[in-house]
Amino acid sequence: MGNQAKFSAGGNDHEFPILSGSVGPDVVDIRKLYAQTGMFTYDPGFTSTASCESALTYIDGDEGVLLHRGYSIEQLSEESSFMEVSYLLLNGELPGKAELEDFSRTITRHTMLHEQLATFYRGFRRDAHPMAIMCGVVGALSAFYHDSTDISDPVHRKISSHRLIAKMPTIAAMAYKYSVGQPFVYPDNSLSYTGNFLRMTFGVPAEKYEVNPVVEQALDRIFILHADHEQNASTSTVRLAGSSGANPFACIAAGIACLWGPAHGGANEAALNMLKEIGTPDKIPHYIDRAKDKNDPFRLMGFGHRVYKNYDPRATVMQKTVREVLTALKVNDPIFEVALQLEDMALNDPYFIEKKLFPNVDFYSGIILSAIGFPTTMFTVLFALARTVGWVAQWNEMISDPGQKIGRPRQLYTGPTARDYIPLDKR
Ligand code: CMC
């Protein structure tokens, strides 16, 4: 018998097993807590609760460490490609040359959408937020790909996973094209995953589109930085939706809906809007004061993280990438200077130091995406595109776990106790 956690309640002592992962804090296994004590735990926001066992991603928030299957995000973003990281997340190991070629070919061959899906777009207003379109169109995929929705069949699961990863760039690019009134551009399978996405987004049928290799590499790196992030809100949403046996397309649509919020994936859009609103470095102190004011709901967008209490390692890579992209595209964006000075001022302010608030992945990403030419409304869409691989990998891990159960949290009820119904004429 391993270590036990002792718990006294109502005059009785109880013991619960302590489980250890390969690294990171131990967990108390309280699955029998209710049966033994008649009590639940109370943990809104899951700040102390591990909802599952996972071998995909490890974060040490105090040390600013992020590992995918043991490999650091710094090494992956510097030396790998998004396709390689996708393979790694899905399969557990880095691919060999032939495996990577085979995987890339498979993904490439699934990039086209069922032609009838194009008519879905026409049902949206032209000014629809592309995340609204993403929720709708991705949810609708299950109506088109019946041959990969049997979640008990590993082959179906594999095909639907590949389809989701492959079709997401096409769906995202079409959402953009629809908003600017340009024709949809079909995938070109001679290009890389990211190059193909750039062409479908910025190319037009009337002209040849040349992929800029610096932009292609920077965007690929941004995709790597967003690929997975442990049990964050949208991933937990995908797992919860999937725990009922819902098909993967519906689960990923649920993840997209959750990601849209400004406290999660919507923060990259909100961060750039905030930097533009600040506009010049002389206004920064005013916004820092607002962020510190308890009576003002304003927060520094792109700052703070539930898990990272040191520095978000993704933000470091992102800051470096901003410089590369701005230099390569010869863009002199004054907003970058505002961002650098805002970061500097906040990191020297006691409020941000005490609360351990640092720039997160979203703080700098908007500046790069904007320099590449994406409108702010597309930022969260790009996050969704990249996170799809993480969602799919986590969903697969959950379905293959023999201990998997439907997710069903309990509650601390504070409403009225049982009372008699009063007929309408007596109220
Ligand atoms: N600006 C000012 N104060 C902040 C900020 C901020 N960005 N973030 C947290 N605080 C304060 C907050 O007011 C609270 O103060 P107090 O203890 O006095 O009440 C304290 O810091 C702890 O904040 P919290 O909201 O309890 O922390 P949380 O772990 O629940 O929230 C967060 C984490 C990311 C939602 C939050 O930091 C935030 O809203 N940040 C801005 C939005 C953002 O950038 N989100 C992107 C997250 S990274 C990418 C992703 O996951 O999608």
Confirm or reject: Cβ of 291 under 6 Å from ligand 1.
yes
pLDDT-based confidence at residue 149 (cuts at 50, 70, 90):
confident
Rounded Cα distance, 359 and 354, in Å: 14
pLDDT value for 188: 95
> Which residue, by CA, sits nearest to atom 11 of ligand 1?
355
Closest CA to 362 of 277, 292, 267: 267
CB atoms within 10 A of CB 6: 8
Note if 68 is an active site residue.
no
Note if 305 is an active site residue.
yes
* Catalytic pick among 228, 229, 305, 312: 305
HEC secondary structure over 88-149: HHHHCCCCCHHHHHHHHHHHHHCCCCCCCHHHHHCCCCCCCCHHHHHHHHHHHHHHCCHHHC
Confirm or reject: Cβ of 264 under 6 Å from ligand 1.
yes
Confirm or reject: Cβ of 302 under 6 Å from ligand 1.
yes
Confirm or reject: Cβ of 269 under 6 Å from ligand 1.
no
> Is the pLDDT reported for residue 139 higher than 60?
yes
> Which residue, by CA, sits nearest to atom 52 of ligand 1?
264
Closest CA to 91 of 46, 119, 44, 56: 56
Rounded Cα distance, 202 and 200, in Å: 6
Confirm or reject: Cβ of 309 under 6 Å from ligand 1.
no
pLDDT value for 403: 86
Average pLDDT over residues 292-311: 93
Structure tokens at 67: 């590992």
The alpha carbon of 303 and the centre of ligand 1 are apart by a number of angstroms equal to 7
Task: Report the percent of the chain where pLDDT is more than 90.
Answer: 88
In order of 46, 377, 407, the CA distances from 267 in angstroms are: 21, 11, 27
| 3-class DSSP state of 4 | strand
Q: Is 187 exposed, middle or buried (0-12, 13-18, 19+ CB in 10 A)?
A: buried
CB atoms within 10 A of CB 417: 5
Compute, in degrees rounded to 10, the torsion defined by CA atoms 197, 316, 268, 52: 90
Average pLDDT over residues 382-398: 98
The alpha carbon of 306 and the centre of ligand 1 are apart by a number of angstroms equal to 7
Confirm or reject: Cβ of 267 under 6 Å from ligand 1.
yes
The alpha carbon of 210 and the centre of ligand 1 are apart by a number of angstroms equal to 40
pLDDT-based confidence at residue 314 (cuts at 50, 70, 90):
very high
> Which residue, by CA, sits nearest to atom 27 of ligand 1?
306
Mean pLDDT, the chain, rounded, equals 94
The alpha carbon of 302 and the centre of ligand 1 are apart by a number of angstroms equal to 9
pLDDT value for 26: 97
Q: Which residue is associated with the tokens 């470096």? A: 320
Rounded Cα distance, 407 and 63, in Å: 31
Residue 58's φ and ψ, nearest 5 degrees, are -125, 135
13-31: per-residue pLDDT in tens? 999 999 999 999 999 999 9
326-363: per-residue pLDDT in tens? 898 888 889 989 999 999 999 999 999 999 999 998 89
Q: What is the DSSP string of 214-279?
A: HHHHHHHHHHHHHS--SS-HHHHHHHHHHHTT--HHHHHHHHHHHHTSTTTTTHHHHHHHHHHHH-
- Residue scoring higher pLDDT (96 or 311): 96
Confirm or reject: Cβ of 360 under 6 Å from ligand 1.
yes
Structure tokens at 101: 């070629």
The alpha carbon of 56 and the centre of ligand 1 are apart by a number of angstroms equal to 25
pLDDT-based confidence at residue 146 (cuts at 50, 70, 90):
confident
pLDDT value for 167: 97
The alpha carbon of 351 and the centre of ligand 1 are apart by a number of angstroms equal to 12
E strands, 146-210, in order: none
256-270: per-residue pLDDT in tens? 999 999 889 888 889
> Is the pLDDT reported for residue 1 higher than 60?
no
228-282: per-residue pLDDT in tens? 999 999 999 999 999 999 999 999 999 999 999 988 988 888 999 999 999 999 9
Query: By the 8 A CB rule, do 165 and 120 touch?
Result: no
> Which residue, by CA, sits nearest to atom 21 of ligand 1?
355
In degrees, rounded to 5, the angle at the alpha carbon of residue 224 between the alpha carbons of residues 398 and 155 is 35
Which of 294, 355, 358 has the most ligand 1 atoms within 8 A of CB, as the residue to mutate? 355
* Catalytic pick among 29, 362, 401, 425: 362
174-227: per-residue pLDDT in tens? 999 999 999 999 999 999 999 999 999 999 999 999 999 999 999 999 999 999
Average pLDDT over residues 36-55: 95
In order of 42, 231, 255, 257, the CA distances from 46 in angstroms are: 9, 10, 17, 19
Residue 6's φ and ψ, nearest 5 degrees, are -95, 140
pLDDT-based confidence at residue 173 (cuts at 50, 70, 90):
very high
Strand 4-9, strand 12-19: pairing: antiparallel
pLDDT-based confidence at residue 2 (cuts at 50, 70, 90):
low
pLDDT value for 323: 87
The alpha carbon of 57 and the centre of ligand 1 are apart by a number of angstroms equal to 22
Burial 191-222 (b: 16+ CB within 10 A, else e): bbbbbbbbbbbbbeeeeebebbeebbbbbbbb
> Which residue, by CA, sits nearest to atom 4 of ligand 1?
299
> Which residue, by CA, sits nearest to atom 35 of ligand 1?
263
Average pLDDT over residues 398-405: 92
Rounded Cα distance, 92 and 77, in Å: 17
> Which residue, by CA, sits nearest to atom 2 of ligand 1?
299
Amino acid letter at 165?
A: I
Confirm or reject: Cβ of 86 under 6 Å from ligand 1.
no
DSSP 306: S
> Is the pLDDT reported for residue 286 higher than 90?
yes
Which of 306, 314, 317 has the most ligand 1 atoms within 8 A of CB, as the residue to mutate? 306
Amino acid letter at 363?
A: F
pLDDT value for 224: 97
58-109: per-residue pLDDT in tens? 999 999 999 999 999 999 999 999 999 999 999 999 999 999 999 999 999 9
